[in-house]
Structures are given as C-alpha cells and as structure tokens.
Structure 1
Amino acid sequence: MDIQRGRTNRRRFLLIAGLPLLTVGAGMTYLLWPEPPRRTEVRTDLEPLNRRLGPFLGELTDAHWLGYDIEDAADDRSIPGPDSRIRVVGVAHLPAGGAAAITGKSDHAFAATGAPSDLPTALKQYLPPDAAWQHSPGFDAYANGQGAAGQASDEIPTGRYLFDTARDLVHFDVLYHFT
C-alpha cells in the first residue's frame, strides 16, 4: 500500500509541477518565435493599377508598386480590425505626353515639389533621383473623387500624385480605407 501511495504522490507532484512548466515553456516559445517578414515584393502587374488609377491618369505602363495593409503586423497572431487601410504606392509610366497633358491643365495649378519623402525602401531604386516632380492638391482632390466615384461606398481613397513631365512618370501614394 505504501508503494501505491508513493506512486500517486509522485504523479501528483509531476502533474502539479510539470503543468505550469509546460505552460511557461509554450508561452515563451510563442513570444520568442521570429515573426515572418512583411511582404515587400515589388509588383509589376498593371491590371489592378489601371483599374483603379487609369480612369483619371490614363493607361499606365512599366509600373513598380507595393500594396499592403498599413496596420498589418505581418503575422497571423493578432485579431483583425473592423476596417483596414490599404496603401498602394509606386511609380509608373504614362502614355507619351500624358504627364504634360495632366500638369498642363490650368484648373489644377501644378507646382514644383521635392521628391517623395515617405517612400518604402524597396521602391527607391525605381524613382529617378533627378526627376522634376510637380504636384497639385487640386488634382489630388479630383483624382480621389474620381476614385471614390468608381468604388464601393465603403472604399474611401485618399492619395497624392506627383508627375515628372520629362519622363512621363507618375508617382502615386494612395490609401484606401475599407470600413
């Protein structure tokens, strides 16, 4: 009988001491496990851009861009929020004379501006360092309104567009808010 009681006490001790140790070990493994990196693969497909930006920019070619949820923690361990904000940022070529046609419209009052400041590192190599960028808040408002007109009511775009007329380039940085 003493042998049976010894085994029971040992099992009880192992259960009481081992369960918390296993729980702490599993928790530490979860916390220290490396997170997967955020996808920063530069995309070159044109169909999504032409569908969203083409109505007011024209047919885009030779695009380099990223599209990602700015609040995404790059892991699947968090609970998704009720809304998401998708940033679409990049550079593309316009048809010949396309940038001059857009910037030449007097109702948008384009002015010279500096290079984009909040550009993801993966895209920096695709923007010419000597580009003569032009910007117009009026065109931004027009383009955002055009984007909203063609989208579902729960997609609210806000964006900034810069043009280089010498190269027929457009730099776009658009944020779509899905609610």
Structure 2
Amino acid sequence: MDTQRGHTNRRRFLLKAGAPLLLLGGGLGYAFWPAGEDGEKVRTDLAPLNRRFWTALGDLSDAHWLGYNIDESDSERLTVPGPETRVRLVGIAHLKPGTANRILRDPAHQFEGTALSTLPGKLKPYVPSAAAWRQSDTYDKRALEEGLNVVPTGTFCFDGIRDLVYFDYVFFYG
C-alpha cells in the first residue's frame, strides 16, 4: 500500500508542477516561433471567404490566402483586434465553372488586362504563371459595396480560362 501512495504523490506533484510548465513552454514557443516572410501562414479554409465574398463571387473553392492586421508589426500580431483594425485579405481561389467568364462578359464593366503587382511572396506558388488576369474598377466598386456599412477598398482580378479570382481586400474590423 505504501508503494501505491508514493506513486500517487509523485503523480500529483508531476501534475501540479508539470502542467503549468508545459503550458508556459508551449505559449513561449508559439510567441517566439519565426513568422516567415509575410508574418502569416497561408490559409486554405473557405468559410471566412465565402461569408465575405459570396454576394460578389458565389462559392469559392481551393483557396490559398492570407488575412492579417496591416497596421501591426509581426511582433504585435498576438494582440486582439480593436475597432479601428484594418484587416487585409489577399489570396487566390477557384470559382464555380463559368463564373469568371460570366463576370468578365458583363457589359456594365470594362475589364482590362493587369498584373498582380501586390502579390505577397507566400502566395506566388499558388498562382499559375500563364494566367491572363483582368480587372475592372467599376466591378470592384460594385462588388465591395454590396451589403456593407463601411465600404472597404480592394480589387478582384479574374482569369476566365481557369475560373480563378485573385482578391486583395482591406476592411475595418469591428
């Protein structure tokens, strides 16, 4: 019986002393982990993009994107966003088949060829080199106004051959 009591006391000690040390070590490891070129991890989840862009683009798939506060440095990125936080969503995604061509053929917008000049380095592997990007200021203005109280800024570029959209979008969080 004494041998069991010794094991029980040792387990209690390890639980009481070890758990906080593991949590502290994990938290410090996360805080000081190298952030990389753009300070953010490339995301592939679709729910935030479909919520934000559904009225303009419909359902997206196969997305690669970044979302971050553009006013914070990498060292401040562990803070909770405030009401005046500007969040940038930038990335590339597939549209439903035929959607890009339907948007590009809309006579209300004059799409012109463009280059992706503000493409973050982390997203370059996901962008086809032969993509023929087209952009329209009037489409951007209309797409960004739909259902929003504060009009964000941004641009959408489309590749009709691959049904791709590139988005670079800044909005106020809050």
- TM-score, normalised to structure 1, is 0.71
CA distance in 1, matches of 2:159, 2:55: 19
Letter aligned with residue 85 of structure 1: R
Letter aligned with residue 132 of structure 1: A
1:111 match: 112
Answer yes or no: is the 8 Å Cα contact 1:62–1:93 preserved in 2: yes
1:176 aligns with 2:168: no
Where in structure 1 are there 5+ consecutive unaligned residues? 1-33
CA distance in 2, matches of 1:157, 1:97: 27
Q: Note the C-alpha offset of 1:39.
A: 3.7
RMSD after superposition: 2.3
Q: Highest CA radius of gyration, 1 or 2?
A: 1
1:167 match: 162
Letter aligned with residue 106 of structure 2: K
Q: Note the C-alpha offset of 1:43.
A: 0.4
Aligned counterpart for 2:153 among listed residues 153, 158, 165:
158
Alignment of 1:123-138 (within 5 A): 123-138=123-138
2:43 match: 43
Task: Count the aligned residue pairs.
Answer: 140
CA distance in 2, matches of 1:35, 1:42: 16
Alignment of 1:28-67 (within 5 A): 37=35, 39-67=39-67
Q: Note the C-alpha offset of 1:156.
A: 3.6
Where in structure 2 are there 5+ consecutive unaligned residues? 1-31
Taking every aligned residue pair, what percent have the same amino acid on both sides? Answer: 45
